[in-house]
Amino acid sequence: MITPEKPNPFHILRLSTRATLAEIVARGEELYQLAESKEEEMLFRWATEQLKTNVRTRLAYELFEFPEAQYEDEEWEAFIRRHRRKPVTLATLAQGTPPLSVEDVNTAELLQQLLESEITIAEADLEPVLHSTPFVPRYTLPLEEWDVICG
């Protein structure tokens, strides 16, 4: 029977739903040996037992697991192993690089870039100015006597 409080055993063991019984047992033992706490040991034992004891329980877990779920990417792991480098420290980089001097900086190009970024004139949009009147009269025609006298 599926236990809703615990995650899917395939997820715990990081196995595909197509894993054989031998793969399940081997992975369960491997993870059990690598467990860092008693809770992890019990979780790995539980997951292994859930998948190997009852066929109907395993089928139920297979149905609720994402299809083609992969918990380990072997191609990525191989890439990492092949291209692994030792970490570079800032001190190591500084040893091989001479300090910068004034001659290393192209001041003309730097000044040109600064001016281009600071002095930009946006194109004016004259359409609203040309097609609308800036003065909106307060009164409409015909004017009445009160409008003329009191302004």
Task: Map out the domains of the chain as residue ranges.
Answer: 9-83
pLDDT digits (tens, 9 = 90+) for 36-76: 889 999 999 998 998 888 888 888 888 877 666 666 667 77
The DSSP line for 4-41 is: TTS--HHHHHT--TT--HHHHHHHHHHHHHH-SSHHHH
**Cβ atoms 96, 39 nearer than 8 A:** no
Q: What is the pLDDT of residue 35?
A: 87
> What is each CA distance from 12 to 20, 42, 79, 109, 149, in whole angstroms?
16, 11, 25, 58, 91
pTM of full prediction above 0.95: no
**pLDDT digit string, tens, across residues 9-41:** 888 888 888 888 999 999 999 988 988 889 999
Mean pLDDT score of the chain = 80
Show the 3-state SS of 85-136. Answer: CCCCCHHHHHHHCCCCCHHHCCHHHHHHHHHHHHCCCCCCCCHHHHHCCCCC
Is pLDDT above 90 for 142? no
